């Protein structure tokens, strides 16, 4: 049987359900309106993969984890670990998700495939300079590497470093 090509871009690597992809799209539109760039599925220095990493105009960094179902949320034991890589941490959920499940100390974004809204801002915990620089570099490399893979697949950057 033919196998699909391995994913080679940040566009859609098959890791997300259609429901999660809709939330992702709304979240990225929200931040784009705020002039903040975003990448998806960014592998952090911890080896964990963040659903959406947002980079603001001034260099501020947010991580957004997408939870499209209660089961998906309950299976997540790792979200606190993302705080070490961002200034603000949010969960993003679809309208059908019971928002009361989301911990008070995380931000909350309600999203669909067209748009999103921040329902609760999280506390800020500003990154130290060295960590901010490392996450920003990783973000830049991932985005530029994915673009290069599209325009010239023979010239791929290593996925992570």
Residues 124-143 that bind its own copies (CB under 8 A): 133, 136-137, 139-141, 143
Examine residue 16 and tell whether it contacts its own copies (CB under 8 A).
no
Examine residue 152 and tell whether it contacts its own copies (CB under 8 A).
yes
- Which residue from 13, 37, 83, 131 is in contact with its own copies, where contact means CB under 8 A? 37
Tell me how crowded residue 28 is: count the other CB atoms within 10 A of its CB.
20
What is the SS3 assignment for 149?
A: helix
Q: Is 65 in contact with 51 (CB distance < 8 Å)?
A: yes
Measure the CA–CA gap between 8 and 23, rounded to whole angstroms: 22
Q: What binding mask, one character per residue, do residues 92-131 give for its own copies by CB under 8 A, x or -? A: ----------------------------------------
Query: What are 152's two structure tokens?
Result: 């010239």
Examine residue 29 and tell whether it contacts its own copies (CB under 8 A).
yes
Tell me how crowded residue 92 is: count the other CB atoms within 10 A of its CB.
27
For residue 122, the Cα-to-chain-centroid distance in whole angstroms is 16
Q: Which residues are at the interface with its own copies (CB under 8 A)?
A: 9-12, 25, 28-29, 32, 35, 37-39, 55, 57-59, 133, 136-137, 139-141, 143-148, 150-152, 154-158, 161
């Amino acid at each position: 049987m033919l196998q699909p090509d391995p994913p080679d871009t940040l566009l859609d690597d098959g890791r997300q359900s259609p429901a999660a992809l809709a939330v992702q799209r709304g979240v990225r539109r929200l931040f784009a309106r705020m002039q903040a760039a975003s990448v998806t599925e960014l592998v952090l220095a911890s080896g964990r993969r963040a659903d959406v990493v947002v980079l603001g105009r001034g260099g501020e960094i947010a991580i957004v984890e997408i939870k499209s179902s209660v089961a998906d949320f309950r299976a997540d034991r790792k979200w606190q670990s993302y705080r070490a890589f961002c200034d603000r941490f949010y969960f993003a959920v679809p309208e059908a998700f019971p928002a009361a499940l989301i911990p008070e100390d995380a931000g909350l974004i309600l999203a669909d495939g067209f748009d999103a809204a921040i329902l609760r801002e999280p506390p800020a915990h500003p990154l130290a300079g060295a960590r901010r620089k490392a996450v920003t570099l990783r973000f830049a490399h991932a985005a530029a590497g994915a673009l290069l893979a599209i325009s010239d697949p023979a010239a791929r950057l290593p996925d992570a470093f």
